Structure 1
């Protein structure tokens, strides 16, 4: 659990080193990135959580109260919350998991996007390039953001990708349906 996300405490150890002094793994962080990583991963534990995407199917049933009753609301990418959508998707977001596209957008349009997020929001840019990590950190410091960023380790991303692939295969085998969505 300590190595799910990069921290200042684990970033160098996760790389591993060869006898010739070169890194064993091409982990994305450098001395310049280090200040933007948390000292250690927060020990955040939730009793219940709701993971909410941004598909139109969410507008078929009013689940807003049920969603907001969870101790953590995790939304993917820019899944919206507003007064019109609240009866369907709730209005709270505690954690936002961003794909590569939205990671870039947050890093380069930080003022607008960071201001839209609630104080204390946890942002997890998955599959973000090192350049974006630095941009995230710089933008957060520049905008005096009180958001926390956690960057998943390579191992966590590989495990997650494997889990998604297995889930898609199980759906296909169980229902005969092909998954045609993105990653």
Structure 2
């Protein structure tokens, strides 16, 4: 099962981000229900591995997070695939989540972690107009800030790919404590 561990956003912030992304007129803006901060992409895992991870996460006390949302960045390498709103304050819990995955027997590839909320998926083969729109978005909104929030929930998601984009379903929630 294709899955990941993420921090869901409060509804009011997700609503603001969805409206902001739509105003950028760039790529494919992410809908409200797809806005989150991915901490660990698990890829395809057997049900048993996800159950083991669930048990480890359920037994591990994790702290609530004070997250700050500042600045837009194109992410995904030389040819960016997404426009992200950068997030600070989540690195510690991300490392704990990776540790939980290892304890559950899940081996994850080593990737540089850049905490963000994906606001828009960019075209795979961008046209000059797409690159102009990206440049304009970065020039006019690159230093955008959204209110800092307290995040009190971690979630395990299932991800199903569809022609019109991914659909996510929450498999389990884990409370983060203050």
TM-score range, shorter chain: under 0.3
Greater per-residue helix proportion? 1
Greater per-residue strand proportion? 2
| Higher-Rg member (1/2) | 1
Normalised TM-score (structure 1): 0.23
**Which structure ranks higher in relative contact order (CA pairs < 8 Å, sequence separation ≥ 6)?**
2
